[in-house]
Structure 1
Amino acid sequence: MPGFEEIFDRIKVATNTRTQVELAEVLDIRQSSISDAKRRDSVPSDWYLKLFEKYGLNPDWLKSGLGPMYLKSEQGYEPYDGPQAASLREEAAKYAEPDSKSQIITVFGMQGIDAATGKWMPKSIGKLSIPLSLARPSITVVKMDASSMEPLIRRSAYVGLDTDQKNILSGELYGVFIPFEGLGIRRIFLDEEKGRFVLRTENSDHPEQYLPVEKRDERVVGRAVWVLQQL
């Protein structure tokens, strides 16, 4: 039988949770219950039921990694080795489609700076429920606290940064650490002649800033791939 850690890893992948605190919120249980399950090296049966009801997750996939991650709602639950296993392997449940289900994620502030390294240090400022299709493991969500990108991105908007996308495409938006300021959302352009990137805002009251090419990996957090805001 698979142990707690193996199943726990699959649960985190499926629910896009990173910590025991976040998983406790998803399962609506105390964090101490997760610690107890880890100590016993066993996942409680009611977790499977909650994950099935909330996300349509296949209990057999959670236990063994076999079969589909989701189950068809019109057919209900069918064991992986049951007669309909082949058809279940083909598609997810309608109620588990990414745009019809939500995920609770952590939102980070933009001002956190590590005093020791001088780099941006993500600090949690709250939670947000977003469609599963937006909640990829590589996404870091920040809340805008400035008007530098208005009117395109308003103050208090939520911005999803894909930390797997750090290669610069000129004209696209990225989250960039700016010394003494914190994280900023900027439209980036390559100035090849001077060996630097030009960082521009949408608000003309804010001046251009510059990023040496060799500092890209150090200071670019990720590409902005979605924005949630009120119009």
Structure 2
Amino acid sequence: MAHTTQGGAGGTRSKPAEVGAAHVIARIIEALGIGTQSALARELGVSRGAISDAKSKNKVPAEWLLKLFRTHSLNPFWLETGHGAKFLREDTVRRTVRDAPAPEREPQYDYVPLVAARLSGGGGSAQTSDRVVEYYAFQRSWLRSKGSVDDMRLMRVTGESMSPTLDDEDIVLVDLSQNDIRVGKIYAVRMDDEIVVKRLERKPGKLVLVSDNRRFYEPQEIPLGDQSNVEVLGRVVWMSREIR
């Protein structure tokens, strides 16, 4: 996880964070010393229009921050807020691990973003933002056995419709590349302005969203010909729960 603290002894306050896509993009250009948005587009492997779209929509895709972290060790938190270390120096960490005696070596890790979007499990959450809140570290070999790290997102669950499998405030790992339906598996599904977490089943001409807490939540059937407002985002492949 990437964490940071602000302020210091004697109550010193940090200057207000300059947030928003335009500030993030300006920090990227400054840190890389590339000068123009066209050069940034080439660096990210996207069109120049994608940079302009990010600024107009005030949303920088999480994939860009992850790529810049891996390729240039840029700290995603600094990019988003202007606070903290500009570089995380992952290259130095990797070199230290490689050169250390075998007994002292640490596992190598990849970092997955926890986004602000919450998966509604009966709580009616409409938080769908892909803004990165923080990062969680996963052992690289394990994570790659599940899929590509670029397709992974962490989200919190709101509500208890998937209890006892998933409880309120659990964190789940969603693989966005797995949006082909496997009957009985758990998926993140966008419905109108809400993202829900459900098991998926099929009936002739229908998609069925099933809650594990069937005592209070009935299965929801959606006609297959009327799914313009429904999108299967990805499959839940892992979950984490705090002991309360």
Question: What is the TM-score with the length of structure 1 in the denominator?
Answer: 0.56
1:126 matched residue in structure 2: 133
1:174 aligned counterpart, secondary structure? strand
1:109 aligned counterpart, secondary structure? strand
2:30 matched residue in structure 1: none
Query: What per-residue deviation string (whole Å, max 9, x for no partner) do you get for residues 136-177 of structure 1?
Result: 110122110111111111110111111111110111111112
- 1:206 and 2:225 are equivalent in the alignment: no
What is the CA–CA distance in structure 2 between the aligned matches of 1:191 and 1:230, rounded to whole Å?
A: 36
What is the CA–CA distance in structure 2 between the aligned matches of 1:217 and 1:136, rounded to whole Å?
A: 27
Contact persistence 2:112–2:153 (CA under 8 A): no
Contact persistence 2:191–2:230 (CA under 8 A): no
What is the CA–CA distance in structure 1 between the aligned matches of 2:139 and 2:132, rounded to whole Å?
A: 21
**2:195 equivalent among 159, 177, 183:** 183
1:169 matched residue in structure 2: 182
Superposed displacement of residue 230, structure 1: 2.5
Which structure 1 residue ranges, 5 or more long, are not aligned? Answer: 11-15, 35-45, 59-70, 77-92, 113-118
1:139 matched residue in structure 2: 152
User: CA, structure 1 residues 198+207, in 2 after alignment: closer, same or farther (shift >3 Å)?
Assistant: same
Contact persistence 2:116–2:129 (CA under 8 A): yes
Contact persistence 2:200–2:210 (CA under 8 A): yes
Pairwise CA RMSD: 4.5
Superposed displacement of residue 107, structure 1: 2.0
Letter in 2 for 1:220: V
Query: What per-residue deviation string (whole Å, max 9, x for no partner) do you get for residues 107-127 of structure 1?
Result: 232279xxxxxx984343722
Structure 1: 4+ residue segments shifted above 3 A: 3-10, 22-32, 71-76, 93-96, 132-135
What is the CA–CA distance in structure 1 between the aligned matches of 2:112 and 2:201, rounded to whole Å?
A: 34
Contact persistence 1:26–1:104 (CA under 8 A): no
Which structure 2 residue ranges, 5 or more long, are not aligned? Answer: 1-33, 46-61, 121-125
What is the CA–CA distance in structure 2 between the aligned matches of 1:190 and 1:151, rounded to whole Å?
A: 23
Question: What is the TM-score with the length of structure 2 in the denominator?
Answer: 0.54
What is the CA–CA distance in structure 1 between the aligned matches of 2:110 and 2:181, rounded to whole Å?
A: 30
- 1:18 and 2:44 are equivalent in the alignment: no
- After TM superposition, list the pairs within 5 Å mapping 1:52-67 onto structure 2: 52-54=91-93, 56=94
1:72 aligned counterpart, secondary structure? helix
What is the CA–CA distance in structure 2 between the aligned matches of 1:173 and 1:50, rounded to whole Å?
A: 36
